[in-house]
Amino acid sequence: MPDESMARTVVALSDVFESMISPEGSKPHWFISFGTLLWFVRDRLLERPFEEDIDISMIYGAVKREDLIAKFGEYGYQLESEVLDNYHRKPLQMVFKPVAPGLWPTNLDIYFWVIGHEFAWHTYDMFNRGVSIMDEYTFKGTPRALIEAPTLPMVWEEIAPTIQFPSKYGSLLDVWYPPNKDHLGNYIINSCWMIQNKQYGQSKFDTMKTIKSCKDMPGDLG
C-alpha cells in the first residue's frame, strides 16, 4: 500500500521544483541526494523504512529564494533555517519543515552546488557545528560532471509524481560514501556504500544480491 503522507510530500517537492523557472528560462536541475539517494538505491531494496530528512541537490542561483519559500508555503512547509552567501545573499542551503497536517514528518534539505572548473561544491551549515560567523564555510567537492549529469524520472510512491534521480548515482555515492580505510590508508574491501559498514550502521544481507539489484536500475553504477 502506498504511504499517503509520503506521497503528499513527494507531490509537494515535485510540484514546487517543476513549477520553478531558472534565470535562463528553463526548469532548474534538481535531484535527490546523499542519504536519501543511498536509501533509494540500497535500503529501499531491503524494504527498510525511510526515516531521514529528504536531501535535494540544486545548482547555486538556479531559482530565487523568495519563490521557493512562497511555493513551499503553499504546500504546507515553512523555512526553518538557511545558509546565505555573504555577497549576493543567495542560499547555499535551505531547510524546509512540514507544518501542515498529513505531510511526512521530515524536513526537506536543499543543497545548492557552486559550480567550479572541475568540481562543484556545497556547504555544510556551520551553525550546527557551533560556528556563528557566516564568513566561515566548510565546502565539500564533487566532480562537476556528476552534479550536472542528466537526471532520470523515478517513482517513489505509486500515487505520487516522479522524482528526479541522478543518472550517475553510483559514481555520486562512491564520492559521498567511499570505502573505509585501514591504518595504512588503504581502502578496505567490501566497506563501500553497497553494504552498511560500521560508519553507516551494520546489517546482514547478501551484498552481491544488492549489487545486482542496483545494476537493474537505469544509469551508472560505477
- What DSSP assignment string belongs to 11-34? HHHHHHHHH---TTSSPPPEEE-H
The domain total for the chain is 2
Residue 95 has pLDDT above 90, yes or no: yes
133 — pLDDT class (breaks 50, 70, 90): very low
Give the model's pLDDT for residue 127.
Answer: 43
Average pLDDT over residues 71-80: 95
Residue 222: inside a domain:
no
1 — pLDDT class (breaks 50, 70, 90): very low
- Are the C-beta atoms of residues 153 and 207 closer than 8 Å to each other? no
Residue 210 has pLDDT above 50, yes or no: no
Same domain, yes or no: 143 and 189: no
Same domain, yes or no: 169 and 191: no
Same domain, yes or no: 137 and 150: yes
Q: Are strands 54-59 and 108-115 parallel, antiparallel or unpaired?
A: parallel
Domain encompassing residue 189:
178-217
182 — pLDDT class (breaks 50, 70, 90): confident
Give the model's pLDDT for residue 123.
Answer: 66
Residue 68 has pLDDT above 70, yes or no: yes
138 — pLDDT class (breaks 50, 70, 90): very low
Same domain, yes or no: 107 and 22: yes
